[in-house]
Structure 1
Amino acid sequence: MSKYEFVKEQIKERLQTGQIRPGGRLPSIREISRQFACSRNTAIRAYADLEREHLIYAVPKSGYYAVLRSSQPDDDQTGWIDFAAASPDPAVMPYKDFQHCLNRAIELYQDQLFSYADPQGFFSLRRALEKHLAGAQVFAAPEQISVVSGAQQALYLLASMPFPNGKSAVLVEQPTYHGMLHALDLLGVTAIGITRSAEGIDLDELERHFRNNHIKFFYTVPRYHNPLGTSYTQAQKKQIARLAAKYDVYLVEDDYLADMETGRKADPIFTYDDSAHTVYIKSFSKIMLPGLRLAAVVLPKAMVEAFRLWKAACDSSTAILSQAALEIYLTCGMYERHAAFVRERYQARMHALREACGRYLPQEIRIDVPDGGIFTRLLLPGQIDSDELAASLRQQQVLVRPVHRCFLRTHPKENGLRISIIRTDEKQVERGMQLLGETVDRFRSQKRPVQTGRAVEWI
């Protein structure tokens, strides 16, 4: 190792361990020369390398300051097994690749990135999305694609705005993504539930809802459902599209895990919709950096202008720098390579979960672990309360999420847990399922049956 490399590594270690805190002033060039018995040129070269790596920055006539955060986490979760998380594993995030795309975006677009932009999204990104979505059998012109600040913003806007059918109620699967339920509740939207199981939904019941209730749209997660982890069959997706056209009900298809698909012919509902009744939402949060808040919405032509107006009233436009960087990330092939890497990693974890469940969980627990995705739902015996079990597991440094939070207040709840593998490795999955099985065994002899109660299902 050369002298300058040694000096550079020593300073980097001080930054990573927190000896030099973020925003803190680094020793001067003269002080570095004295500390390491090196020339001024060596110290300058080491600092220049650290600045190129975005670990420090220079202030003229003042000195150098630290950018890098300490590698020691603010909230130390060492030793915890997290089956509750939904945000991606930091270990698989493409920080360096996306940093390159951000730098390239600034070089290419410069002042375009720092002014007001089209609420519908950066046009060159929408053009790249047209090609990207076509690979998943979602064919739409850039004019039908809107870039939003995360899928949650899209759901909130769709729940708020009027639809061409003039209807007002929203039909949701039960259980479903809690973020959608929260948005509907805050907006005071009439929400109706339809039970979804591992086998899907009752299509006759779906038709009754479409025919008898004033349904604006049906919110569905056909692929790797949150929290169930299951997917609709091709026949079910075709029938849902057919019923939507027949009764003039729109579908809001949340395809948040499209890139995790392991089946070659698992097309979205959008593919089978010949009547332009499907709003398709594609999130990038589970593959990339969720803090970027980027998602794409494909809209029927009749809804494009209304959605654009509601989006403009909400935040004018989604962050342009993030959009431009995503365009480069998609077009240079980085996204597809990283998606394949993440898909393989998460699929291995789901396989480990399936094996561990078979070894450690008692037969009274019902669980069906899918081949892909990140979630599965675990149903508990009647005498075990999911909240009490979650609290007991937390004392053992195992985090889980009860599924009753994924239900409408007016719908019968399930006594179970959502299990996520997105922030666990194979060893943690093994140990976590062992602890869960042991804890369930202790609970079974102590608890009385849990009362789930009854609820109104029709309005």
Structure 2
Amino acid sequence: MTTKYSGILEWVKQQIEDEKLKTGDKLPSIRLLAEQFQCSKNTVVKALLQLEKQHIVYAKPKSGYYVVDHFQVPITDDNDIDFLSAGPDKRIMPYEDFQHCMNQAIDHYKEQLFTYSEQQGLLSLRKELTKYLQHLQVFTKPDRLVITSGAQQALHILSVMPFPNGKKNVVIEQPTYFGMIDSLRLNQITTLEIELTMEGIDFEKLEKLFRTNDIKFFYIIPRCHNPLGHHYTNEEKKKIVALAEKYDVYIVEDDYLAELDTDSKADPLFAYEPNGRVIYVKSFSKVFLPGLRIATVVLPEKMISSFIHYKFSSDFNTSPLSQGALEIYLKNGMFQYHLESIKKLYIKKLKILIEACSLYLPNYVQFTKPKSGFYLTIFLPSHFDIDKMIYQLQEKHIYIDNASRMYLIKDKQQPAIRLSISQVNEHKIHLGIQQLATYIIEKHEKKTNNPFSFKSYH
């Protein structure tokens, strides 16, 4: 039966792929398929139900089964070496598990799907998230959580809404997440920068910025920094919170990859000022499903009403179906199991990447050596044209990112590229870095034979 069942599945998919069956076409009847595959009608029905579950066909009562859409097997180029993509590794995404949760959410939240749900987010999800955040040393209550349509929405709202301190300007690390830079630019927010290297930041400069520049908040990625991979120590976090307290500055803590921190003793900044100075933003896009578009922000009580007002003007409410599915996924323990597998994989891939960079890159090229996370940044000699480099490497099926978009003032920084390990195949990392190093060496030798000496970012 298994062979016949599989044969029906493959035959239908092949017919669609070959365009012998097109969108809206009716499949042969159950009787005809049973005769064609010399099996029972029950076997045919089971196969058609599986195809329906995969959204390849649908049933019309008293009519038969029809093609939903042109089904295509995803085409991937085996030669691609992808250091560019920043979403989760597609090979370990829990699609089937989450589909079950989505189906349960449809059954459980039928009424909410046809109405506008709670503006602050489903209370049941906020309760689950409150429990989950405790594992990250974020202790709060559901009333302080607001569910947003991804972390980007939360950052955008925080950029434009008024804060209790009545201040207007923002401080960001340099470099930092390009989405935050874009929000600040688009909203014409006066933005100041504090340089970040793998050695950290200049605390004297930070204090001067806080003291003299009417700072509304300091946006910070405390661990698994994008794009450097930097991690602050607990002592540094305490100093930052103390300075924020002293000068009435809020902190927006973007803890998007907290789950990948290998240091079990590392705390978020929120742990050092949980009552309102630190606003905690947590995304699920990088460790789970980007398309889910779910994040949460933990706000001071006095800011919740204003934040919800700004969010409401943006999208009324975040999808109750996505919220309900995530709630079920958290509640049944699937998420913790998923995290265990991805953490092992990403630690392994990052280790391979650092080894490859150490082995193949020339000594005049500096690169960061993060202990965990997705990202590593490579700093190149000043004569390198990064956009041209990206284009030429693409022709070799190697994909990298220009780190210049992660700087507030692009012309000030040394040419740099960001590498991500999230979707690259671990077996291709060495080959990719070998080819990258060959490119760098060839271009550098054409330009000059003199070695360059740069400030270390190790």
The 3-state SS of whatever aligns with 1:377 is strand
Distance change (3 Å), C-alpha of 1:223 and 1:395: same
1:19-58 correspondence runs (5 A): 19=19, 20=21, 24-58=25-59
| Amino acid corresponding to residue 421 of structure 2 in structure 1 | I
1:310-321 correspondence runs (5 A): 310-321=310-321
| Amino acid corresponding to residue 347 of structure 2 in structure 1 | Q
1:180-329 correspondence runs (5 A): 180-273=180-273, 276-329=276-329
Farther off after superposition, 439-448 or 358-367: 439-448
Tell me what 2:346 maps to. Answer: 346
Is 1:378 aligned with 2:371?
Answer: no
| CA deviation after TM superposition for structure 1 residue 135, in Å | 1.4
Tell me what 2:364 maps to. Answer: 364
| CA deviation after TM superposition for structure 1 residue 60, in Å | 2.2
| CA deviation after TM superposition for structure 1 residue 49, in Å | 3.8
Can you give the 5+ residue segments of structure 2 that lack an aligned partner in the other structure?
A: 450-458
C-alpha contact (below 8 Å) 1:18/1:70 kept by paired residues: no
Tell me what 2:452 maps to. Answer: none
Q: TM-score, normalised by structure 1?
A: 0.92
Cα deviation digits, residues 193-226 of structure 1 (max 9, x gap): 1111111111110100000001111111111110
Distance change (3 Å), C-alpha of 1:26 and 1:131: same
The 3-state SS of whatever aligns with 1:183 is helix
Is 1:66 aligned with 2:67?
Answer: yes
Distance change (3 Å), C-alpha of 1:23 and 1:255: farther
| CA deviation after TM superposition for structure 1 residue 55, in Å | 3.8
C-alpha contact (below 8 Å) 1:25/1:66 kept by paired residues: yes
Q: Distance in 1 between matches of 2:335 and 2:96?
A: 13
Tell me what 2:454 maps to. Answer: none
| CA deviation after TM superposition for structure 1 residue 61, in Å | 4.0
| CA deviation after TM superposition for structure 1 residue 21, in Å | 5.0
Q: Distance in 2 between matches of 1:84 and 1:69?
A: 29
Distance change (3 Å), C-alpha of 1:18 and 1:369: farther
| CA deviation after TM superposition for structure 1 residue 33, in Å | 3.4
C-alpha contact (below 8 Å) 1:83/1:423 kept by paired residues: yes
Cα deviation digits, residues 258-305 of structure 1 (max 9, x gap): 111111011111111166211100000012110110001000112111
Q: Distance in 1 between matches of 2:239 and 2:15?
A: 58
Tell me what 2:453 maps to. Answer: none
Q: Distance in 2 between matches of 1:156 and 1:349?
A: 32
Distance change (3 Å), C-alpha of 1:106 and 1:276: same
Farther off after superposition, 375-384 or 1-10: 1-10
C-alpha contact (below 8 Å) 1:350/1:369 kept by paired residues: no
Q: TM-score, normalised by structure 2?
A: 0.92
Q: Distance in 1 between matches of 2:63 and 2:107?
A: 28
Q: Distance in 2 between matches of 1:420 and 1:239?
A: 30
Aligned length: 448
| Amino acid corresponding to residue 222 of structure 1 in structure 2 | P
Tell me what 2:456 maps to. Answer: none
Distance change (3 Å), C-alpha of 1:45 and 1:419: closer
The 3-state SS of whatever aligns with 2:196 is strand
| CA deviation after TM superposition for structure 1 residue 146, in Å | 0.5
C-alpha contact (below 8 Å) 1:93/1:287 kept by paired residues: no
| Amino acid corresponding to residue 147 of structure 1 in structure 2 | I
Q: Distance in 2 between matches of 1:301 and 1:24?
A: 56
Farther off after superposition, 108-117 or 224-233: 108-117
The 3-state SS of whatever aligns with 2:171 is strand
Q: Distance in 1 between matches of 2:187 and 2:137?
A: 33
Cα deviation digits, residues 36-94 of structure 1 (max 9, x gap): 244544433432343345442202244312347634337x5442111111112211111
Q: Distance in 2 between matches of 1:69 and 1:361?
A: 45
Farther off after superposition, 19-28 or 408-417: 19-28
Tell me what 1:457 maps to. Answer: none
Farther off after superposition, 314-323 or 51-60: 51-60
The 3-state SS of whatever aligns with 1:445 is helix
Q: Distance in 1 between matches of 2:119 and 2:332?
A: 25
The 3-state SS of whatever aligns with 1:446 is helix
Tell me what 1:137 maps to. Answer: 137
Q: Distance in 2 between matches of 1:5 and 1:405?
A: 51
Can you give the 5+ residue segments of structure 1 that lack an aligned partner in the other structure?
A: 450-459
Q: Distance in 2 between matches of 1:88 and 1:21?
A: 32
Distance change (3 Å), C-alpha of 1:12 and 1:370: farther
Distance change (3 Å), C-alpha of 1:41 and 1:95: closer
Tell me what 1:394 maps to. Answer: 394
Distance change (3 Å), C-alpha of 1:2 and 1:236: closer
Tell me what 1:111 maps to. Answer: 111
C-alpha contact (below 8 Å) 1:15/1:66 kept by paired residues: no
Cα deviation digits, residues 89-124 of structure 1 (max 9, x gap): 211111011011111222333223331111110000
| Amino acid corresponding to residue 87 of structure 1 in structure 2 | G
The 3-state SS of whatever aligns with 1:201 is coil
Tell me what 2:149 maps to. Answer: 149
Q: Distance in 1 between matches of 2:228 and 2:294?
A: 24
C-alpha contact (below 8 Å) 1:218/1:250 kept by paired residues: yes
